Amino acid sequence: MSNFVFAGKDTVELAKKYGTPLYVMSGDMINDKCDEINESFLNKYDNTMAVYASKAFLNLAMVKMVAKKGIGLDVVSGGELYTAHKAGINLENVMFHGNNKTASEIAMGIDLGVGRFVVDNRWEMYLINELAQEKGKKVKILFRITPGVKSDTHDYISTGQKDSKFGIPIVEDVIVDVVDEAMKLSNIKLMGLHFHVGSQLHDNSSHLRALDATFGILDKLYDKFTFVPKELNVGGGFGIYYNKEDDVKPLSYFVDPIMEKISGYFEKNGLDRAKVIIEPGRWIAGEAGITLYKLTGKKEIPGIHRYISVDGGLPDNPRPALYGAEYEAVVANKYGQEAAETITIAGKCCETGDILIKNIQLPITENGDYLAVMSTGAYNYSMASHYNRIPKAAVLMITEGREDIIVERETYEDVISQDRVPSWLE
């Protein structure tokens, strides 16, 4: 029996040193992923771009890490954009997404000079044009389209189907009219199209079917307006390992056929190939993170269920409650010890649904043991909440043996810092 080692560090030592719950990110794994993007995509194919979908895991350090590797950023809100701005990166490499950008967020994006607005709908297109006009600027846009592809993933992370809150449906009379109108507006420049078919995909067929649908529309746009896109953004969604059901593929499994198909389309039509953009989020950060917890209680309902509780849960990882996400875990201080009980790991919140993992096989656990939950690097810290007024956990990053706290643990003072008591209650 030994302690579980992650990123070259004894996780029990980390838990004792920094407290729990603790997000631990491997900077080395993030760098390796960025290197794979460079090798398998950016350096292999010319006229390409990669942007990191920052919603997966974002803070100042992360912005700088991906930027150092020549990777841009996808942001969907003023807060994400502000983080990118404060990290000091070139905002020309930022794509501003989102299905509901407010006027003030759009204005901020124009003022800061984001490279592209990915426009979700006609109303937003007019708003961007109007705000750009007021500021005497011309901004570059892509249209987000919904290619009508249902991908093989959880409904909550499937985004490319026809009935989606995201994007413009590629029903001919909708998309053709919007493009027509866009080309008549003087403060926006339509650069091309974007789609994102869904997340946590292990099969490239959704991207390829989405391309077929996109080409159908591009044919029509060419016939009507001789419109040729300068850019095609095929989104992210490349899957990672959470558990044994995940058949993880290298990035090349996705990007090679995508590139072949896109190049074939432009060649066939005698046109210069558009710049191809990918937007991985989970694929860069997901497996690079784990969360450490302390076991704080155990109970058995005879003949029914055994529970252990941890000192975190829903506030640091809402995914199991949100859409039944499944995780693997080990008892960090009993690593390698044989599994001896089937147990459910309950989170700390007053919410029946706050169950981190159902019926996992673990060694016999006791109060004070440490648990390491795997693949929590994406959509955990970024989705964290203050439910039950629990302060948010710290984020530790390990890079080449260095230990850096990149997000401080919140204090109770932080939790009440925005509260104001009206004078009549004083």
Ligand X SMILES: Cc1ncc(COP(=O)(O)O)c(C=O)c1O
Catalytic residue set: 350
Q: Are the CB atoms for 50 and 280 separated by under 8 Å?
A: yes
Q: Which is nearer to ligand X, 74 or 105 (CB)?
A: 74
Task: By CB under 6 A, name the one of 27, 37, 57, 74 that touches ligand X.
Answer: 74
- Give the nearest distance from C-beta 353 to ligand X in angstroms: 22
> Contacting ligand X (CB under 6 A), which of 78, 236, 312, 363?
236
Residue whose CB is less far from ligand X, 139 or 251: 251
Within 10 angstroms of residue 69's Cβ, the number of other Cβ atoms is: 17
Query: Toward ligand X, which CB reaches closer, 235 or 363?
Result: 235
Provide the minimum distance between the beta carbon of 166 and ligand X in the complex, in angstroms, as a whole number. Answer: 7
On the 0-12 / 13-18 / 19+ scale of CB atoms within 10 A, 389 is exposed
Write each residue from 4 to 43 as x if it is in contact with ligand X (CB under 6 A), else as -, in one continuous string. ----------------------------------------
Span from 63-71, 276-284, 290-298, 363-371 in contact with ligand X (CB under 6 A): 276-284
Q: Which x/- pattern, by CB under 6 A, does the window 165-204 give for ligand X?
A: -------------------------------x--x-----
Residue 275: CB atoms within 10 Å: 17
Distance in Å, CB of 114 to ligand X, minimum:
15
Interface region with ligand X, contact rule CB under 6 A, candidates 27-35, 86-94, 245-253, 278-286: 278-286
Q: Which residues bind ligand X (CB under 6 A)?
A: 53, 56, 74, 97, 159, 196, 199, 235-238, 279-283
